[in-house]
Structure 1
Amino acid sequence: MKKTTGTAAPRVLLAGFEPFENDPVNPAWEIARALDGWACEGAAVQAVQLPCVFGRAIDRLDEALAAGAPPVLVLCIGAAGGRTEISLERAALNVDDARIPDNAGYQPIDIPVVEGGPAAYFSTLPMKAMVRDMRAAGLPAAVSNSAGTFVCNHIFYALMHRIATQPALARTRGGFVHVPYLPEQAASKPGFASMALATQVEAFRVAIRTALTVRDDVRETGGRLH
């Protein structure tokens, strides 16, 4: 990623994971790269691919954050097989507890993402407004209260820790979004839901615009019974 200079537009960083668990494709990265260079509300999207590897994913995020002026918005994206909606994650937990090994064969169990860090961080996105606007556009979306304990939660926590502790990122808003499988993935996984890439890309266009224009989130229900 090239460093921005001069009067470059404010950055919106989309960080999507590479394929994992033997899948040939990851919708997270496909969405990010489809939107690379897209201009919205005076800002420009930059896509970065994250390795699905504990530790290395954070290193790659740090490189992207440092490659220019601090971004105004950072959305990290990961796939969640079985999800039926675009899921905006509310909270990141300070724990790595991997059900399966990552792409480097590492499987941490009950290890903090940041030693001595807070137990959790909340997203700083206007999540409910983003969900509202996606739904109004006919795009399935919801607030989710668990980002899991794999590399997705790992990068979500690392992002929010940096936003909370680095003065340069004081004005950066950030969070994590889980997305459904693509149809070509679901075709080999009977019973799993899917969503077309074009639909997911359009949902992110709506979500990014809302995140850039809404300062105070709407107050409406987004909770669940379980």
Structure 2
Amino acid sequence: MEDVVLVAGFTVFAGFQFNPAEEIARRLDGQAIRGHRVRGLVLPVSLKRGLRLLREHLEALRPRVVLGLGLAPWARRVTLELAAVSLVHYPDYPDEDGHRAELQLLDGGGLRAYTTRLPLEAVQACSRQGLPATVGVTAGTYLCNAAAYTIHRYAHENRVAGGFLHLPPSTELAHRHRFTATVPLWLQLETVKCILREAIRLNG
């Protein structure tokens, strides 16, 4: 059976007409990376529906590598977040279902926090190749954190590689919304592919 890589990216949100996370997940769907078949998954910006869809795909596909993607308008590089917590808190910015979470625990059965199981050496290797890859600390307390926590927990419990990347605005998005940070979509895509290649290599 062919090993599977799951790449899950969030769709548009908060008035943005374009999300590089969604576009990269779509473009990677069906590609082969180091003998692994990539399955791309687009997540709705909904705590309930998004996590249910992600968990269903994790259970059905049992991927050897899992990568979550989300837009961070302030980011200047593709950023691997080190940790995610079992907490969502966004009382001022509802998800697309109108839900406002306030100090809401994600899962009582897991740890309060999980760290990434995507090798940091993968990011370092891609950075040395001149790609815009770096490491961050936390995925925050919005939906990116919820997805990251779910991915980290799956990766720890199944001893596979898993992590979450925050993406900077693409050039198109930056021009539309006057963001100062921008990385072209093609370069973001190449960076994500590099991180996946290196993660697979390092995990044997």
When normalised by structure 1's length, the TM-score is 0.85
**For residues 52 and 73 of structure 2, what CA distance do their matches in structure 1 show?**
25
Unpaired segments of 5 or more residues in structure 1?
A: 1-6, 217-226
**For residues 96 and 215 of structure 1, what CA distance do their matches in structure 2 show?**
30
**For residues 111 and 11 of structure 2, what CA distance do their matches in structure 1 show?**
28
The aligned counterpart of 1:188 is 176
Tell me if the contact between 1:89 and 1:147 (Cα under 8 Å) persists in the aligned partners.
yes
**TM alignment of 1:191-202, pairs within 5 A:** 191-202=179-190
Structure 2: which amino acid aligns with 1:144?
G
The aligned counterpart of 2:60 is 67
Structure 2: which amino acid aligns with 1:201?
L
The aligned counterpart of 2:119 is 126
**For residues 186 and 9 of structure 2, what CA distance do their matches in structure 1 show?**
16
Q: What's the secondary structure of 1:67's corresponding residue?
A: helix
Q: What's the secondary structure of 1:188's corresponding residue?
A: helix
Q: Which sits farther off after the overlay, 13-22 or 117-126?
A: 117-126
**For residues 80 and 148 of structure 1, what CA distance do their matches in structure 2 show?**
10
Larger helix share, 1 or 2: 2
When normalised by structure 2's length, the TM-score is 0.93
Q: In structure 2, which of residues 136, 145, 154 is the aligned counterpart of residue 144 of structure 1?
A: 136
Tell me if the contact between 1:10 and 1:71 (Cα under 8 Å) persists in the aligned partners.
yes
Shift of 1:116: 5.1
The aligned counterpart of 1:108 is 101
Q: In structure 2, which of residues 10, 19, 23 is the aligned counterpart of residue 30 of structure 1?
A: 23
Pair 1:12-2:12 in alignment: no
Q: CA RMSD in A?
A: 1.6
How many residues end up aligned between the 2 structures?
Answer: 203
Shift of 1:172: 2.3
Change (3 A) 1:12 1:25: same
Tell me if the contact between 1:114 and 1:158 (Cα under 8 Å) persists in the aligned partners.
no
Per-residue displacement from partner, 1:17-40 (whole Å, max 9, x unpaired)? 011001111110111111111111
Structure 1: which amino acid aligns with 2:152?
M
Pair 1:82-2:70 in alignment: no
Per-residue displacement from partner, 1:172-205 (whole Å, max 9, x unpaired)? 2211010001112111322431111100110011
Tell me if the contact between 2:67 and 2:151 (Cα under 8 Å) persists in the aligned partners.
no
Shift of 1:66: 2.8
Q: Which sits farther off after the overlay, 14-23 or 114-123?
A: 114-123
**For residues 114 and 67 of structure 1, what CA distance do their matches in structure 2 show?**
20
Unpaired segments of 5 or more residues in structure 2?
A: none
Shift of 1:45: 0.7
**For residues 64 and 90 of structure 1, what CA distance do their matches in structure 2 show?**
23
Identity of aligned residues (%): 34
Change (3 A) 1:78 1:191: closer
**For residues 134 and 4 of structure 2, what CA distance do their matches in structure 1 show?**
25
Pair 1:158-2:150 in alignment: yes
Change (3 A) 1:73 1:60: same
**TM alignment of 1:202-213, pairs within 5 A:** 202-213=190-201
Tell me if the contact between 1:182 and 1:195 (Cα under 8 Å) persists in the aligned partners.
yes
